[in-house]
Amino acid sequence: MRHERVGRGSGTWARGLALAVVLVSAAAWAARPYRGGAVATAYPPASAAALQMLERGGNAVDAAVAAAFVAAVVGPYHSGVGGGGFALVHDAKSGQTRALDFREVAPKGASRDMYVKDGRLVPGLSTDGALSVAVPGAVAGYLELLSAHGKLKPSVVLAPAIRLAREGFWVTPKYQQMATGRLQCLRKDPEAARIFLAPNAQGELDVPPIGYLVKQPDLARTLTQLTKAGAKAFYTGPVAQALVKTVKDNGGVLTAEDLAGYQTRQATPLEAAYRGHRVLTMPPPSAGGLAVLQVLGMMEQLRPQGVPYRDADSLHLYTEAVRRAYVDRAKYLGDPAFVEVPLARLVSPGHIADLAGSIDPKKATPSASLLPPVAGAATSTLPAQDAGRMTPEPERKNTTHISVVDKDGNAVAMTTTVNYSFGSCLVAKGTGVLLNDEMDDFAAQPGVPNAYGLVTGEPNAIQPGKVPLSSMSPTFVFAKDDPKRILLAVGSPGGSTIPTTVIQVIGNVVDQGMDVTRAVAAGRLHHQYLPDELWVDKWGLEPATLAALEAKGHHIRRVDAWGDAEAVYSDPRTNLRYPASDPRNEGAALGQD
């Protein structure tokens, strides 16, 4: 069965109605099982493009790459060809899983203290504008995946993205939310403002109304060049020249040499077992994958018979496990090409047992007692008047995830980003390429929080050619009776909350036996060492459970929502596939009958 895309109406009202139908229909499809391939992404057009590739005989890689390029068009606040990411690719026939790191790298002109003046970080330098731009890797990564593992031609796979860039896409509530949070930043760059904003009644460029059609003809031309000349059309020649000129003219340090020399990196997935299930995830410079394995390992040791649902004592243990995983991140993790990461020890049963054994089952451990923060770190809890308050500001974390399992059992889990919402807010003139602000994922000043309040240490300090640490955690869980058969492909955006989102989805499926739709929708908890707060989303916990956690010494912060988990579950008994897109947002879970 083919799910047809809703046709275009005339006028803003018709476009808005059509959009609503797409979103409601996507939510209705989310719980359906499919006999063929299945996909979950944060955008209905991206899921539709992935499904189109599957129906044309493509595999999971073709579908994921098509979705990624469409996401670059319709979700510029989350990802784009000016960004980068990580991907896991599983080949069902051989049973092999490969990891590809196409994360951005620091330009050769970057320096350790480039955002520090008079001993203090200069606000905004690492998040807004040209100096925040790292060398983008998305184009190289997407096209390498397609060349190495896909079946369809680039002209076929990129066609949906090119069409949407040329003909336009409709502004959604999520677009409005994200653009509102970055409005002033977008207004600073005339090219970004021209493309992503629209005149208001006073003639000022402002957040566009729902249903406004955003067209990107320059980006369509850039994507078309990729179908003809491949990645070199992006990293050398006129497009590269435009990227370099835009960054240089605005005070950045990206050069033609940086672009021409960019290379992706093959990696060996991190591996562990959880309750008999093989789990594969990303290694450093992903810090998220390590956290996933460490926390699952601690929970299995602390609760060997399983985790009772929403049990306060178990939630306390989970929080303490996460706290310790983030301390390890701050102490040890950086780009392994530049620093010695004791990875074998950090994932070893002995180390995980030591971490689990250090947890007091009766009370919370103050974060500062595990790793004393440096001056300026986010050490304090919320003021008393803010306790229990929902965060009013829009989510600013800027990442997206794509999960695909095809009819043959091949799978992709890909997380990709431009970092902050709308990246650096800088568009290379004539190309339509929105550039990342990935330099903020370095420890711009070791021990001082980045835009997500996340603290990392000296191993993640800025160096030319270095890859910044990332929380992105694309993950596969395999069937218990067949360690080569995908059970779950999962990932999420959400900055520092990505690993905890992935951990909880896995726990919901494996420990609670939830169907995947409920697993991605369930309320979440998050701790990240500093600030010393336990974040609970508004669907997270009952008042009595919150009170029990507070009695153990946890500082609770109520958060409106975070993350956008995208997952595909493949039932090993029936071979039916169940895609699920997080109901917190606007995604779509589609599949083939």
Tens-digit pLDDT profile for the chain (593 aa)?
333 333 333 333 333 333 433 443 444 444 689 999 999 999 999 999 999 999 999 999 999 999 999 999 999 999 999 999 999 999 999 999 999 999 999 999 999 999 999 999 999 999 999 999 999 999 999 999 999 999 999 999 999 999 999 999 999 999 999 999 999 999 999 999 999 999 999 999 999 999 999 999 999 999 999 999 999 999 999 999 999 999 999 999 999 999 999 999 999 999 999 999 999 999 999 999 999 999 999 999 999 999 999 999 999 999 999 999 999 999 999 999 999 999 999 999 999 999 999 999 999 999 999 999 865 544 433 333 333 333 333 345 579 999 999 999 999 999 999 999 999 999 999 999 999 999 999 998 887 777 667 778 899 999 999 999 999 999 999 999 999 999 999 999 999 999 999 999 999 999 999 999 999 999 999 999 999 999 999 878 999 999 999 999 999 999 988 999 999 999 999 999 999 999 999 999 999 99
d(CA 448, CA 277): 37
Cα–Cα distance list, 286 to 34, 336, 435 (Å): 32, 10, 21
For helices 349-357 and 288-302, angle between their N-to-C axes, nearest 10 degrees: 70
Closest CA to 127 of 503, 353, 435: 435
d(CA 18, CA 23): 9
The pairing of strands 556-559 and 534-537 is parallel
The token duo for 578 is 């169940």
Cα–Cα distance list, 337 to 459, 460, 467, 469 (Å): 11, 11, 9, 12
DSSP helix/strand/coil, 400: strand
Closest CA to 570 of 478, 506, 499, 501: 478
User: Phi-psi category of 137—alpha, beta or left, where left has phi over 0 and alpha has psi -120 to 50?
Assistant: alpha
Cα–Cα distance list, 434 to 128, 368, 426 (Å): 12, 39, 6
User: What is the pTM (predicted TM-score) of this model?
Assistant: 0.93
What is the chain's alpha carbon radius of gyration, rounded to the nearest angstrom?
22
d(CA 475, CA 503): 10
Active site annotation includes 399: yes
**How many residues does the structure list for the chain?**
593
d(CA 235, CA 223): 13
Which among 41, 172, 222, 399 is annotated as catalytic?
A: 399
Amino acid symbol at 52: Q
29 phi, psi to nearest 5 deg:
-75, -15
CA–centroid distance for 77 within its chain: 12
